[in-house]
């Protein structure tokens, strides 16, 4: 039997990068998948490519009213779900001294506050015994210069995941956190980090395995944590980073 047969999953930010790769993997393992994203055209295009077990819903993770609309849509369409992968997020980098209130609010509202209230809205729809996975980052721990607010949003997410794993244990809902290192997704180009820089291997030089990761390598871990094979795993944090976090040259 496929690993995720008869399971229904919601993936926030599923139209590209890690969220999209995870949608592909969940579907291949037998799940039904609803992806969200901000851009209607990108969500529609992703759903078309993913095939008929996939569906899409346009929702801005920073908007609490969108989170409520998403919950209404999920209730009306599926009733209940088994897996919630809170993946949507943005990067915005720069030094502490020039970080604006606008930068601060945007990052916090999408990466942390939005994640928090998306879970709150969808929680009543998650079956007992379900699985929540939060997509964080090794930035939650690395102290990397130039990522001061981004890192704080991810550290807050890890704290949320740890607390939720205890609060939801009565319903046997497992909550786990995934901390990727640098992964080859559009997030870099969205932040003006060009393909040339990535291809020049500047990031890869500080990764012990000598390369940046692929979104599918994160998806493999997320699928495992979503599945019943991870039935005794909750409150855990897992790095998928080619050894980056333990490398002495980090930062």
Binding site for ligand NAP (CB under 6 A): 12-13, 15-19, 36-39, 42, 60-62, 87-91, 110, 135, 137, 180, 182-183, 185-187, 190
Active site residue 150: yes
The residue among 50 and 110 lying less far from ligand NAP, judged by its C-beta, is 110
Task: Write the burial class of residue 91 (CB in 10 Å: 0-12 exposed, 13-18 middle, 19+ buried).
Answer: middle
Assign residue 131 a region: left if phi > 0, alpha if psi is -120 to 50, beta otherwise? beta
**C-beta of 178: minimal distance to ligand NAP in Å?**
8
Residue from 20, 141, 150, 238 carrying the catalytic annotation:
150
The residue among 89 and 161 lying less far from ligand NAP, judged by its C-beta, is 89
The residue among 147 and 168 lying less far from ligand NAP, judged by its C-beta, is 147
Phi, psi of 212 (to 5 degrees): -85, 165
Q: Which residues does residue 80 pair with via DSSP β-bridges, in sequence order?
A: none
The residue among 216 and 228 lying less far from ligand NAP, judged by its C-beta, is 216
**C-beta of 109: minimal distance to ligand NAP in Å?**
8
**C-beta of 169: minimal distance to ligand NAP in Å?**
25
**C-beta of 179: minimal distance to ligand NAP in Å?**
7
Residues with a known catalytic role: 150
């Amino acid at each position: 039997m496929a690993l995720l047969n008869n399971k229904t999953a919601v993936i926030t930010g599923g139209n590209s990068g890690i969220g999209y790769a995870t949608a592909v993997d969940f579907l291949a393992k037998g799940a039904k998948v609803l992806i969200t994203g901000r851009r209607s055209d990108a969500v529609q295009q992703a759903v078309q490519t993913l095939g008929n077990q996939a569906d899409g819903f346009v929702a801005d993770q920073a908007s609490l009213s969108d989170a409520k609309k998403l919950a209404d849509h999920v209730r009306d369409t599926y009733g209940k779900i088994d897996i919630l992968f809170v993946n949507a997020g943005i990067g915005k980098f720069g030094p502490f001294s020039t970080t604006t209130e606008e930068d601060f609010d945007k990052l916090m509202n999408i990466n942390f506050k939005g994640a928090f209230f998306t879970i709150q809205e969808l929680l009543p729809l998650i079956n007992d015994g379900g699985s929540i996975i939060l997509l964080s980052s090794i930035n939650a721990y690395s102290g990397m210069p130039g990522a001061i607010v981004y890192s704080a949003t991810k550290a807050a997410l890890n704290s949320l995941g740890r607390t939720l794993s205890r609060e939801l244990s009565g319903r046997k809902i497992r909550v786990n956190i995934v901390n990727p290192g640098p992964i080859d997704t559009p997030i870099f180009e969205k932040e003006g980090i060009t393909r040339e820089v990535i291809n020049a291997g500047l990031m890869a030089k500080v990764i012990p395995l000598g390369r940046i990761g692929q979104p599918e390598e994160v998806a493999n871990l997320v699928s495992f944590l979503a599945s019943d094979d991870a039935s005794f795993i909750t409150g855990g944090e897992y790095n998928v980073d080619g050894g980056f976090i333990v490398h002495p040259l980090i930062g």
